Amino acid sequence: MLTKKELLDLQFVDARARLIDLAAFLDRLERHEGEEDSRMKYFRAAIPILMEKRVDRAKRVLETFSDSSVEIPEKAEFQGAKGAPVS
């Protein structure tokens, strides 16, 4: 198993780039006119999870975007993930 330093050595630059990409996306979103839709509600709910000191962050972020309903409707009103575009 890798040490934390070894893992940082291997993946820090990639993780840093992903965070910068995320920040750039949010910057672009703020510069555009119009209202946000419900996708950003789930997106904003997932961001604080990243800062929690836990080992299940990926699972919790995924659950934030997941449809947890157990009832099977006659016709789906949206795709299986919250925030998935409706086609």
- Do 64 and 45 contact (CB within 8 A), yes or no? yes
CA distances from 24 to 11, 27, 65 (A): 20, 5, 21
Q: How far is the C-alpha of 79 from the C-alpha of 87, rounded, in Å? A: 9
The model carries a pTM of 0.72
For the cut 70, the answer to whether the pLDDT of residue 82 exceeds it is no
pLDDT in tens, 2-58: 999 999 999 999 999 999 999 999 999 999 999 998 889 999 999 999 999 999 999
pLDDT interval class at 71 (50, 70, 90): confident
- Do 86 and 78 contact (CB within 8 A), yes or no? yes
For the cut 80, the answer to whether the pLDDT of residue 83 exceeds it is no
Full DSSP string of 40-71: HHHHHHHGGGGGS--S-HHHHHHHHHB-----
